[in-house]
Amino acid sequence: MTENQGERPEDRTPEDPQAGAVWQPPAQPPLPTTPATDGYPPRPVPGPQDRAADAASQTPEAAPAQPTASSAPIDPGPTAQGVPPRPQPPYGQYAFGPAQGTPTGTQQTLPLGEAPVSQKRQKLGAGKVVGIMVAAAIVGGAAGLGGAYAGATLFSSTSETTVAGPSTVTVNDTDSVNQTTGIAAKVVPSVVTISANNGSTGGTGSGVVLSEDGYVVTNTHVVTLDGATADASISVTTSDGRVFSATIVGTDPIYDLAVIKLEGAEDLTPIDFASSADLNVGDTTVAVGAPLGLSNTVTTGIVSALNRSIQIASSAAPDTEQDETQDDGNDRTPPFYFDFGDEGQQPTATETISIAVIQTDAAINPGNSGGALVDDEGNLIGINVAIASAGSSSESGSIGVGFSIPSDVVQRITDEIIAEGSATHGLLGASVMPAASVEGATISGAYLADVSEGGAAAAVGLQIGDIVTGFNGVPITDATDLTAQVRAAAAGSAATVTFVRDGETRSVEVTLGELG
């Protein structure tokens, strides 16, 4: 072979003595061989199909070498026989962390020349764990992923681990699982269907599991049939079909919350709480419950409004004259109703309660009462309590205006009920009315029409005529807002009250009394 053999014509210079010669392609180079050793002739290096063969023959005096194993993570997709596996990127390159309860960066170790498990085997494994994998992925932070990407990633694992998951979330196509599917897989096992009956009247609602041994939060109007009875027969069905009798631990009609205890329950799935104080308008919401008795129903929406307060009629509410909102002579009764699935005529409400709520457009219908409103990670942000109706009753169903009791209030009240059998509520010691209804009003807020002697308001110098515009940082736009925020706080707790007097904005720290 000459010095220029194998060069292309365009690579030669004019001075090249072979510039006019016709270029010939080089002969194919011989296969790489092992060097000759101790007189043995060289041999070709084994190809992919020969990688599992004994390599010790290169050195005949050495002991036969064992096949070495690949230590790189294997790409979970199907790999053709003999094609080298591709290393799997670390989890850190994705937008989510490893799912809880699953191996981190699971590796599959294979002998040389052996391919990963077949695609068919992968699909069978994924089918067994589909529900729990979606839930675990949400816990691990995959909630922000797009549906197609999350589904393709979460259901291609080659792990041999078998996990028993809930059978109430149907997933037919694991390649198109979206965020809501994952949320549902996590939350549905924590939501129960409640049936209450007193012989002549009955109804259905929902509840949320607080503990493995059967404490469940729901609404007072669910377990009392909206005040019709104090000793209803209560039956609870879990998402996986188990049925329990339940007893009432305590009710709180002021905020329409109640705690019941399932008899003989164990291994239930408690809900995870999120702080409702961290919510933004526009955040994703998912409502889970039993509207119209249809258990394990999932609907989606957003947070439509925060710091909303509603006044709603309740037959279970106690008759109290403390901190009553005064009638300003205007009929502005809002069309709010408990979202309660009743089977008979409920009693006519004689009292009203004022509660602070999260407003959502997730579809909430009668029977969703006491069910869960969760965020995009499947954590509880509220207990569904009421709906707005365009008609004369709640029978017209959801119009995209539903209300949930914030999780921070739920957690405080249920903790007190479980510990003490009842919950406390703050008392300001003043009668209020909407400031906008006062003649000559220039701002909105809660107008102090009367201040009780010796009460919390009087103790810090609040006076008749003061207009409260804020309570613990929450804007106050009318009397209902102030009453709802005071009731949400515990008795004896400290609060910051912002008010306007003679056109000047002031703030004062007040220690709330206890609602009797």
Which residues have a catalytic role annotated?
Answer: 221, 256, 369
Residues in the chain: 516
Cβ contacts of residue 493 below 8 Å, gap of 6+? 426, 511, 512
Dist. CA 395–CA 401, nearest whole Å: 14
Dist. CA 424–CA 478, nearest whole Å: 23
DSSP three-state, residue 275: coil
With contact defined as beta carbons under 8 Å apart, do 87 and 109 qualify? no
Q: At residue 289, what is the residue type?
A: G
DSSP H helices in 87-239: 119-139, 147-154, 179-187, 220-223
Cβ contacts of residue 97 below 8 Å, gap of 6+? 91, 140, 141
Q: Which two tokens stand for residue 497?
A: 């009250």
Dist. CA 333–CA 134, nearest whole Å: 44
DSSP three-state, residue 434: strand
Q: In degrees rounded to 5, what are phi and psi of residue 417?
A: -65, -45
Task: Give the bridge partners for 403, in sequence order.
Answer: 359, 386
